[in-house]
Amino acid sequence: MDNIGIHTARDAGHHAANPGLQGVVAATTRLSSVDGEAGELIIAGYPVGEFAPRARFEETLHLLWYGALPNSAQLKALGDALAERRELPAITLTVLRDAAGARIPPMDLLRMAAGTLSGGEDQEAALTLVAQLPAVVAASWRLLRGEEPIPPRRDLAHAANYLWMLDGTEPDARRTRALETYLNTVVDHGLNASTFTARVIASTGSDMVSAILGAIGALKGPLHGGAPGPALDMVFEIGTPDRIEPVLRSKLESGERLMGFGHRIYRVRDPRAEVLGREADRLFAGAENRSLYLLAKEVELAAVRLLAEYKPGRNLQTNVEFYTALLLHGLDLPVQLFTPTFTLGRVGGWCAHCFEQRTVKRIIRPESSYRGPIDRVWSPLEGR
Ligand code: ACO
């Protein structure tokens, strides 16, 4: 067996490995800036709270891809370009039908179907990916439930089309706004794992579809995009205001983590939680289940207070997942579609990063520090 732990002469003079690449700056970007100490997220110059609750998702795409908000002619052109590409190719639908028949979960269906989308040059591929991924997610969900996919509508914009394709109900302005705010809020977030993955693949000269496929694989991991469901489970488990304190205390005393709190980078409240919390307030205004929003707010306040008590000095605050879960639930999205829906926002950022990476003209190729033996002698098969 290999003696993996051996340190050898080859390591002499090598730098120590930095497995999480923490503190390593691997790209310059004009797309977003994350300041964890100040609790600040800037997207292409705009604080996230300034533009996310106002912009249509098409405006956000224009901002990230072309550097400025569009005028009305540019917005129409981008909207038309997406509308022309929204219909899924036959091969994608065939793959989805077969895979949904095998009960493959939605995020895996998205990964499989994304690979069937047609590539081409970067601009064309980016438009196709952004236009078609919502149709893929909506069709997957319907096929998994034994229903036929609903075709997109030319008269609906991007966010509204997604909600339409999910259940065939035309969303009102409040629901559309809530989804746009969510997609805008999560569109980009520095050099996170999936964005880095996309940039690594783009740096090899590979095509845009491959870069986005890799990014989807990275986003799927529970340490990255796969966590919003449990934050909602916790609120449901608590159920009523009188149970908040005892349930949270018992979780903390048994060493459990409170889902939706804490962040590697943010030491203050995640600015995205602020934006999504306000949007959830609007979405749940007058809603039958407004009490769920009010309960979640109370859970948040108590959780932050108890985390300070049980984990003093750690600065554990609300993260993006807490209100993501509530907002997406308020849009009637099932938990299984939370991470796929996150993908539909982040894909705009991934494509923008690929455009940027293309201008670098240098492959991303770090080094590893070899920690194995160096003087082994070949032994023939029969002698092993
Ligand atoms: N609940 C209870 N304790 C916590 C929590 C939490 N949510 N988060 C951190 N802690 C505690 C840890 O137990 C640890 O305590 P200790 O030093 O006494 O052992 C201390 O705070 C530091 O924890 P780390 O894991 O080192 O902190 P890190 O910054 O690396 O963790 C993470 C970040 C993984 C998000 C963590 O806060 C967590 O697990 N949160 C809950 C899960 C969650 O909400 N995930 C979504 C994050 S948002 C996103 O990734 C997009």
Mean pLDDT of the chain: 93
Ligand 1 centroid to Cα of residue 262, in Å, is 5
Share of the chain above pLDDT 70, in %: 96
pLDDT digits (tens, 9 = 90+) for 53-76: 999 999 999 999 999 999 999 999
With the most atoms of ligand 1 within 8 angstroms of its CB, the residue from 258, 265, 299, 311 to mutate is: 311
Decide whether any atom of ligand 1 lies within 6 Å of the 186 Cβ: no
Closest ligand 1 atom to residue 189 Cα is: 51
Q: Judge whether residue 158 has pLDDT over 70.
A: yes
Closest ligand 1 atom to residue 223 Cα is: 50
Decide whether any atom of ligand 1 lies within 6 Å of the 319 Cβ: yes
Closest ligand 1 atom to residue 257 Cα is: 1
pLDDT digits (tens, 9 = 90+) for 3-48: 333 344 444 445 688 888 888 999 999 999 999 999 999 999 999 9
| Lowest-pLDDT choice from 144-153, 196-205, 256-265 | 256-265
Among left, alpha and beta (phi > 0; psi -120 to 50; other), residue 231 is: alpha
Phi first, then psi: give them for residue 43, nearest 5 degrees: -110, 115
pTM of the model: 0.93
Decide whether any atom of ligand 1 lies within 6 Å of the 320 Cβ: yes
pLDDT digits (tens, 9 = 90+) for 105-116: 999 999 999 999
Find the mean pLDDT for residues 160-184.
97
Residue numbers annotated as active site: 263, 321
Smallest CA separation from ligand 1 atom 50, residue: 224
Ligand 1 centroid to Cα of residue 263, in Å, is 6
Decide whether any atom of ligand 1 lies within 6 Å of the 259 Cβ: yes
Decide whether any atom of ligand 1 lies within 6 Å of the 311 Cβ: yes
Ligand 1 centroid to Cα of residue 49, in Å, is 24
Decide whether any atom of ligand 1 lies within 6 Å of the 276 Cβ: no
Decide whether any atom of ligand 1 lies within 6 Å of the 258 Cβ: yes
With the most atoms of ligand 1 within 8 angstroms of its CB, the residue from 263, 265, 326, 341 to mutate is: 263
The per-residue pLDDT for 227 is: 66
Maximum distance among all alpha carbons in the chain? 77
Decide whether any atom of ligand 1 lies within 6 Å of the 344 Cβ: no
Q: Judge whether residue 101 has pLDDT over 60.
A: yes
Residue 184 structure tokens: 């805008």
In sequence order, the β-bridge partners of residue 42 are 33, 47
Find the mean pLDDT for residues 276-285.
97
Q: For the sheet with 32-35, list strands across it.
A: 32-35, 40-43, 46-47
